[in-house]
Structure 1
Amino acid sequence: MATALVLAGGTGHPAGAAVAPKDLCSNVRRRSEKAAEDFVVAYETNRGWECERAGHLKIGFDVSSLGPADPQTDYRDPVEGIRRIEVKGRTAGFPIRITTN
C-alpha cells in the first residue's frame, strides 16, 4: 500500500496553531482530504493508470489505481498492476502525524 501526503495551504490558520474550533477543523479537514485525493487521482491518471475512489467503502485505503494492460495481450498484472493508496491531506502549519495501518 502506498501513502500520499499532500499539504494544502490557504486555510486561514496561523502557523504553529495546534487546535482550531471543532466545526472549522472538520470542514478544513474534509477540504484538505478532498484536495489530497484529487491530487493523487490526477497524478495516477496522468501516468496512465485508472483510478477509483474507495475511501467511502472504509476498506483501508482511499484510491485504487490500476496499471495499464499489456497492449499485446490485454493482461493486467493483479499484483504489480494495482496500487492501493491511503491519502492523508494536511493543512499548512499543523503537525504531521505518522500512524501504522
Structure 2
Amino acid sequence: MQKFSHISNATENRILLQQRGNLLMFWEGSRVRKDKKQLWKAAPLCLIWCLLIEINRRTFDGKEQSLERFKNSFLNLLYFWVDHSFPVYVDTFIDFVKSFRL
C-alpha cells in the first residue's frame, strides 16, 4: 500500500502544480523593461522545473530542501538558462541577481 500512497501523493502534487502552472501562463510582464523581457519570460518555466524536481525529491527520495536552498537552486538554474540561451550580458552571478531591478 505504501507504494500506491507515493503514486497518489505524486499525482496530487502534479495536479496542484498544473493548476498553479495555468496561473503562470498569464505571466506577461507588460511593465518589464525591454532588455529584461527574456529573463521575465523564462522565470515561470524555471520555477515550475524547480518545483517538479523538489516534488520528485520529496516523493521518491524522502528528502526536502530548505527554502533558502530552493531559492538558490532556482536562481542558479535561471542564471544558467539565461547565460546559455539568451543574449543577456552579465559577467557574474552577483551581477545577474542585481539585474533583477525591473
Shorter-chain TM-score bucket reads 0.3 to 0.5
Question: Which structure has greater helix proportion?
Answer: 2
Return the structure number with greater relative CO, CA threshold 8 A, min gap 6. 1
| TM-score normalised by structure 1 residue count | 0.37
Question: Which structure has greater strand proportion?
Answer: 1
| TM-score normalised by structure 2 residue count | 0.37
